[in-house]
Amino acid sequence: MESKIHLNNDLVLVNNQLNSYQEIEDRIFIIRGVQVMIDRDLADIYEVKTKRLNEQVKRNIERFPERFMFQLSDNESDKLVANCDRFKTLKHSSSNPYAFTEQGVSMLASVLNSEAAVQKSIKIIDAFVAMRRFIQSNAKLFIELDHLRKEVSETNAHLQENDRKIEHILTIMDKYKIEDRQKLFFDGQIYDAFTFMVSLVQKAEKEIILIDNYAGVGTLDVLSKKKDNVDVQLFTSKKAKIAQSDIDKFNAQYPTITLNYTETFHDRFLIIDSSTAYSIGSSVKDAGKRCFAVTQIYEKWMVKMILERL
Dump pLDDT digits (tens) for 205-260. Answer: 999 999 999 999 999 999 999 999 999 999 999 998 898 999 999 999 999 999 99
Pair 7, 33: CB distance under 8 Å: no
Confidence class for position 289, pLDDT limits 50, 70, 90: confident
Mean pLDDT of 73-85: 89
Query: What pLDDT was estimated at residue 1?
Result: 38
Res. 192: pLDDT tops 80: yes
Lowest mean pLDDT among 76-90, 98-112, 156-170, 258-272: 156-170
Mean pLDDT of 183-195: 86
Res. 11: pLDDT tops 50: no
CATH superfamily, domain 178-309, is Endonuclease Chain A (3.30.870.10)
- Look up the pTM and report it: 0.44
| 143: phi then psi, degrees, rounded to nearest 5 | -65, -45
Pair 185, 193: CB distance under 8 Å: yes
pLDDT digits (tens, 9 = 90+) for 154-179: 777 777 887 787 777 666 656 555 45
Where in the sequence of the chain do the CATH 3.30.870.10 domains occur? Answer: 178-309
Confidence class for position 124, pLDDT limits 50, 70, 90: confident
Confidence class for position 100, pLDDT limits 50, 70, 90: very high
Query: What pLDDT was estimated at residue 146?
Result: 75
Res. 193: pLDDT tops 90: no
Residue type at position 166: I
Higher pLDDT, 108 or 207: 207
Query: Mean pLDDT highest for which of 3-7, 30-34, 161-165?
Result: 30-34
**What is d(CA 286, CA 29) in angstroms, rounded to the nearest whole number?**
82
**What is d(CA 125, CA 5) in angstroms, rounded to the nearest whole number?**
17
